[in-house]
Every structure is written in C-alpha cells, then in structure tokens.
Amino acid sequence: MSIFDHIKRFFAGPKDSDPNNTDRERASDDNVDPFNPFPEPFTIEITDVIDLHTIQPKDVKRVVEEYLEQVHQAGFRSVRIIHGKGIGVQREIVRTVLAKTSFVDTWIDAPPDAGGLGATIVRLL
C-alpha cells in the first residue's frame, strides 16, 4: 500500500474503512449533545499535588483557589503546586492567590528534585 493509500484511508475515517464500526453512528445519535459530551459530573481525587499544566491560563486563579479550599477542608498540612517554569506568569498568579489565602502559612520554591522553580511548596495552617 502506498503512502497515498494510507492518507486516503486515514481521511476516509473509521466508518468508511470498517463497515462494522458504529462509533460514528453513536456520536451522531440525538441523545448526545456535541457541546457537552460528558453531562454527568465526575469527581477528581484531591491529593497533595496539583499540576496546572493542563489548566487554561484564564482558569488558573479559580482552580488554585478551589484546590486550596479542598485540601484545607481535607486536612492537608502541605501541598505542592506545579505551575511550570516558563517566564513566571503562572507562578505569580499562584503566589498572588497564596498571599490572599488566610489559611496559608508560608510557601517556598520546591527543591530541584520536586520541580525547582517550576513548583511551589505550600504550608497550610
């Protein structure tokens, strides 16, 4: 099979290449909202580490605030917030939230083996 046949097959999609595949038929079902494919809420386990790499920058402040509330309620004494190194924008957002949170005692850069400048260790009251 030539590379062009592979490309043609790729763009044909699974329904065209496999007549037994019903995934595309299910996706077009009237019961599925294309703008909300996961209508049921789900729970994410709260741990002592949160990685903000997958969070949209516009949501970082809100996510960090909620995370801190959740870990405080769960009784955590310290947490690690991974914000990445970059140019420091996310780190500043995180630290601004920390400075305004009444139950945050102190925070420091993580040690090199735990993220260094790309993470912040937070001690909670």
* 3-state helix/strand/coil string of 20-45: CCCHHHHHCCCCCCCCCCCCCCCCCC
pLDDT at 17 over 50: no
The dihedral of CA 111, 112, 117, 119: what is its sign? negative
CATH of 49-124, one of 3.30.420.40, 3.40.50.850, 3.40.50.720, 3.30.1370.110: 3.30.1370.110
Rounded to an integer, what distance in angstroms lies between the CA atom of residue 96 and that of residue 105? 14
pLDDT at 16: 47
List all residues 6 or more positions away from 50 whose beta carbon is below 8 Å from its beta carbon. Answer: 63, 64, 67, 79, 80, 81, 82
Mean pLDDT for all residues in the chain = 84
List all residues 6 or more positions away from 94 whose beta carbon is below 8 Å from its beta carbon. Answer: 52, 60, 64, 81, 83, 120
The domain limits of the chain are 1-40, 49-124
Which tens digits make up the pLDDT trace of 65-77? 999 999 999 999 9
Which is more confidently placed, 40 or 7? Answer: 40
